[in-house]
A and B are shown apart, each in its own frame.
Chain A
């Protein structure tokens, strides 16, 4: 059987960095082929080459046995390759049906637009991918998961021979992910080839037929998924055995540091949230995407104005109306989507580290550059940030290392309460492990931590207690020793009654 796409001996360098060192890869019709590897292993470079966005320095790409020269994005598309990137690449000010039509629409007589036909066609596609939005809806009004579905509809519409998905579930909650898996399965049954990139092993085991592991720009081999275990994959990816992803934590939990009572922010969909967070405790905050976890965190941090309820920090009732006030009270917030908001891309590691605590590197109101360098260097070592120096712009760091810089910034403010919103989203397993270790260390030093995460394993593995949100309300709080994935899911879906 001839593979749909075959790549032989692909090499690609950026300046002095060799991103791919002779990778060979193939994917067949009716196959879901998983591509895994740490960040920086070369996955993105490889799919960008398949998409025609990058040209390989060496190597050959064959499509159904025919060698392809000079692949461009347009050529790749016309050859039936569709790529769904991590971040949907849609036009926000156009409607769903216009977005779909732009990607692929047969020409009409006199190039006239048949709006009725266009919308009907879009509606059919949307129902096929299980999306319930209107074709006339503007993309800017859609949530991230909905936009992801539109991207998939585009790929289905193009009747692509090869669909490449780059971490499609990174921004999806579990229910939307289920829907995605169904679509992937349908694509496979219809005879399309699928390349599927993900950091979440459970979904790879559920979906993929074969898996190719990349490490440092080289292929570690292609294996049938059924013959692999979690441990095999990790070993191939990182080149070492990973004993436990989650660190053992045996710290003493102290007095309450944060008490939230009946906190509401109706305009952002947060209703009547109450809980107590103690010193040294990790409180997991689980829930589906759109359940109001981030909105709650933003209300707590003073980014949205609360319209009901009360907050006490260290036993004292406080009002938090701005991030400045929250900071002064010892709260710190590491936001979701670090690429956009967690760090300042133009700033070097040092300036990002000190940004929220400039007074600590100032003398008499003036910046003390020696102190700044020293402090930044200290945090760089402690957080094992992989950067040549603290003067390196964070733009040039990998996602995991950017996240460490973001964490370092907040740690420098010496917070009493640290809110982490999806701290390991889209970062590789090695960096994840380091971040888990850091979270453990911080809790051991007496910081109360709120860990927002869409990854059930992470919430279950790291938390002392797990609070689950559903539709803007707290659906329940579970103790670590009595919680399992099933119970959390039930609460997140709104099936169970509120329990203490």
Chain B
């Protein structure tokens, strides 16, 4: 059946209208609002005042550093866990119980993960009570603070718990698709030990395939909202939470600042995505 140019064009137009346009609107609206050209305060504030005020905030730099560190730590943890499972137990990829369990965790909303972490790790939570019953601590309040804490341990663990299942499933699938098991057998036939085969052959092959997904997971963790809202500190806070709090602040002068931050966030993720796509294109020929 011949394909018309119109049909090809229609799909592109639909993508542009339903995805591209809202994205463009989001950036445009944020930019115009932040410079005072639209919005309630458009006649009351000098152009650029919101940007100057937003960047003059002392906590902004800490928020940026905190967001990047938390996202990087969570992504690293998720990658390490996923690589560990895939390298240690590759047979899980063809086992239904494991697939079902991974599918369940994969489909668990971040809000539920946050709730579970709160119940397990908060002061007076399950872990603290179990530790007290086991005689490890005198009272639940002696339990180390893992939620809303300075090191963001609970938040990092929760973000990693959300990212790890998809990475694990992906790597287990890659183990089969890229015939990594056969490469390991071959390496052993060539004289490598089991550890050497995993370390020198399987790990580089898996890591090469995990990198694009890890980069995407990092960007996703950077913009995470529910988990930082539930488990993160008030200050410094993750970038999404900061923007949302500025938006919902009772003081309307905070809104242009929030939009200025939103534009900065937009630019960061857009740049990250562009680099990611460029990187993928460059590395595509090595993928199986």
| A, B in one complex | no
Residues in chain B within 8 A of chain A (CB atoms): none
